[in-house]
Each structure stands twice: as structure tokens, then as C-alpha cells.
Amino acid sequence: IWAKVLAALKGTLGANNFSNWIEPLEFLHLNGGVATFNVPTNFIGNYVNQNFSDQIIYQLNKQGQDVQRVKFTVPSQAAAKPVVRKVAAADDIAGSPIDARFTFDNFIVGKPNELAHAAARRVAEGGPVTFNPLFLYGGVGLGKTHLMHAIAHELQRRSPDLNVLYLSAEQFMYRFITALRERKMMDFKQLFRSVDVLMVDDVQFMAGKDSTQEEFFHTFNALIDGQKQIIISADRAPGEIKDLEERIKSRLQCGLVVDLHPTDYELRLGILQSKVDYYATQYTELQIAPGVLEFLAHRISTNVRVLEGALTRLFAFASLVGREITLELTQDCLSDVLKASDRKVTVEEIQRKVSEHYNIRLSDMIGPKRLRTYARPRQIAMYLAKRMTNRSLPEIGRRFGGRDHTTVMHGVRRIEELKVLDSQIADDLELLRRALEE
Ligand code: ADP
Ligand code: MG
């Protein structure tokens, strides 16, 4: 029966999901509606539970089995495998200090970051190295550094004599160059090869730095060969980092690559709530009106750092003036932040503003007339639409009377050229842009 279920799951989940998550499961028994499986690690168990348990139950039911729940257990000897430890040889390894605020406890988990969080948790459990390297990527302020520090804390808490080294790619380069200059390459190599866990933050920084990459590649290989855990972060996927050697890219991809997605409303609200709970212990006199957090979560961009900064400012301001944090106070205090993250200009607004500016009718700008009087403003509007909205070229074309995307592209290019050659056009663009950003 399990074989049939497996075959069905392979079909519905795809070969990749299947080999990563389903194949490692070992069916144990079915008891009182609960199907129990052995899994190699808690991480896999949790992940399968969250993502595939419905499908598994569905397929078991389809085979006539009365199953309501699935359960995953980790065989005890796997769980009890000791962490490979090395005597701490390197108190003198100067990485960056681990930031005490960045722990798993105060990392809020939501849909956009749950996989990255689960992977980080798994690595932080120590034990046999499974995902090596762990590669975390995502946009600015989405929690990469926070997760790396959290891993470091947790590893250090579990095994105090583990050698955990965290540093930015920039620091790596700096140390490398210093070692070269002071002719201390042997020390450098030895230092980096003696760690148990190496974390390098923001590796996109190494793009184009050839000799640093070279050295990083050797360090990387030596550690992987020695079964040491490596954790890397970047602002984009390994394959998308320009000017990074192919062999490094492929090495970076051979472990687990997980991304942090832009935050969604629920996650932002959760983060705000947890910060407020924290502030409540500091600013005991402060009241926060209902709806304020929802307003902020709704209005502020996906970047958590900006969100936190806004809240900090709000609390500082409110405590200065000794007032309750209301919606009005929030809008007053954060008007600039709110404006900056509020640039949701539409193509229609752009068309309206541009036609007003050049004193032509909107219908003429969108219509088929080819006269320069209409064509130029049309191109300017297309250019601004491309620059100021997230619309694709075909979508923009559609809004300009159903024009082809190549026409839009041509228009955008033309304005890009003219912007440099024609100061009148440059001025117009600047004026229009500012008017639209108001
Ligand atoms: P990145 O390294 O990806 O640019 P950081 O890890 O520095 O981002 O995060 C920016 C700020 O946002 C930090 O103060 C961090 O604590 C906070 N932060 C990001 N994600 C979360 C989260 N899920 N829960 C709580 N705080 C978060
Ligand atoms: Mg960072």
C-alpha cells in the first residue's frame, strides 16, 4: 500500500519534492487512525508535516486506509549522535561579535520566512552536518543576518567550546588582504581552517574581487571536506551573483539554498506586535491606540529594518510628548517614512500628468496619432511608467491603446537617449517625476 501511495505522491508533488522530502520517510505503523513514520531529522519531519501531511493522508485514505493524522519520529540513535567537537583553538579569531538581540526567540516566523527559519533551526541543532553549505538569500532587511546570529547563539549555547566564526564577506576580504600584506598567509589559512562553523554574510560583496574569491574557494573546500558547517548569506541567489566564478556558484548551490521572501502583512503585524510587547516593558506609561499597528503593517514597505525604525521613532516621540500613540500622532511623526514607502503611482496617473504638462488631450496621447506633438509625450509617459511602476512592457503597451511591447521598449530607449542630449527633456522628466511622487 505504501508503495502505491509513494507512486501517487511522486506524481502530485514532483520529482524534486519527492526525493527531498518523501523518500526519506520510512513507514512504521498505523494505529488508531495515526500513521507513524521514521524520519532522519526533525527538520524533515516538521517540513513534511507542514507541507505534505494533507497529501499523504489523502493518498492513504484513497488506498482504503482509515488515517486521520500522520506522525513523524526521529530514531533515537540518529537524534543522539554527538556533535563533532574541536578544542577551541581560536579565541583569537576576530570575527564579528554575535549580536545578543538576534536570537530565534525574537525572530517572528511567517509564510515568507518559514523555510529559511526551519533550515536555520535545523543547522543550529548541531549534530551531523546535513545541509552544507546553508545558503540564505533575500532582499535587504528581511532577516538574513538575524538568522545567522541566531544560529551562532544556539550552537554556542549547545556546545560552548564549538568554534563558531561569523564575519561579513567584507571582513573576510579585509583580513585576507592584511594577511597578504603582512605575509601571514599561513596564519590566515590555519585560522580559517580551524573553525567548526564558518558564517560569511553578504557574499555578493565578493563579486569581481577575484583573489578574495580564490581564497574563499579554498577555505570553503577545506572546511566542507573536513565536514565543517558553512553558512552563507547573499542578497540574491548564487546563480544571480554577477562576477562570481562559476565553480564557486556551483559549490554554493550544492547544499541547501533557501530564500527569505518579502514580508507580507501578517508577518509585519507579528513583528510589530512583538516589538511593542518589548517596548511595553520599557515605556510602561505609553498607550497605543487600536489600529495603529495594522496601519503601519499595511503602509510600510517589506523591509523589516524600516519597520522597526519607524516604531522606535514613534515610541521615542510619544514618550517625549507624553501622549498616547494614536493614528494622528503616527501620521505626524512618520510622515516622511510613510510617504517614501507610498510611491504607488499608476500608469493612468502618469498619463494624466504628462498630458496636462504638455497640454495635449489624454485621448490623443493614448490614441494612434504619430505627430511629434503627441508621440514625444507618449514616449515620456511610457518611460515614466516603466521607471515608476512595476508594470511590464506588455502591460504598459496595453494601457497605451494596445500597443506592442516593442513599441514601448523603443519609446523608453528613445527617452533614455534624449534625457542626456536634451536638457529640456531632462528638466521635464525631473519636474514630472517630482509631481508624481507628491
Ligand atoms: P538582512 O541581513 O537580511 O538585511 P537583518 O537580519 O539585519 O536583515 O534584519 C533587519 C532588522 O529586522 C533586524 O533588526 C532584525 O532583527 C529585524 N528582523 C528581520 N526579520 C525579522 C523577523 N522575522 N522577526 C523579528 N525581527 C526581524
Ligand atoms: Mg545583513
Residue 99 located in a structural domain:
no
Same domain? 276 vs 407: no
Same domain? 169 vs 249: yes
Determine if ligand 1 sits within 6 Å of the CB of residue 143.
Answer: yes
- Cβ atoms of 266 and 111 within 8 Å: the answer is yes
- Sign, Cα dihedral of 198, 247, 224, 236: positive
Q: Which atom of ligand 1 is nearest to the CA of 117?
A: 23
Which ligand is the nearest neighbour of the Cα of 139? Answer: 1
Residue 94 located in a structural domain:
no
Q: Which of 115, 146, 201, 306 is the pocket-test mutation for ligand 1 (most atoms within 8 Å of CB)?
A: 146
Q: Flag residues of the chain having pLDDT under 70.
A: 41-43, 76-98, 340-344, 438
Residue 104 located in a structural domain:
no
pLDDT at position 97, please? 66
CA–centroid distance, 223 to ligand 1, in Å, is 28
CA–centroid distance, 293 to ligand 1, in Å, is 18
Same domain? 371 vs 311: no
Same domain? 361 vs 316: no
Residue 165 located in a structural domain:
yes
Helices (H), 233-300: 246-253, 265-282, 292-299
By CB neighbour count within 10 A (0-12 exposed, 13-18 middle, 19+ buried), where does 32 fall? exposed
Is the ipTM above a cut-off of 0.95? Answer: yes
Same domain? 256 vs 273: no
Q: Which residue, of 317, 340, 363, is where some domain finishes?
A: 340
CA–centroid distance, 197 to ligand 2, in Å, is 18
Note the pTM of the prediction, 2 decimals. Answer: 0.62
pLDDT at position 92, please? 36
Same domain? 322 vs 351: no
Which ligand is the nearest neighbour of the Cα of 114? Answer: 1
**DSSP letter assigned to residue 325:** B
Q: Which residue, of 209, 242, 260, is where some domain finishes?
A: 260
Contacts of 328-336 spanning 24+ positions with Cβ under 8 A: 330/292, 330/295, 330/296, 334/296, 334/310
Residue 154 located in a structural domain:
yes
Domain that holds residue 182: 111-260
Residue 91 located in a structural domain:
no
Same domain? 123 vs 184: yes
Task: Name the 3-class secondary structure at 148.
Answer: helix
| Domain total in the chain | 4
pLDDT at position 345, please? 78
Q: For the chain, what is the total number of helices (H) and then of strands (E)?
A: 21, 8
d(CA 220, CA 306): 34
CA–centroid distance, 190 to ligand 1, in Å, is 32
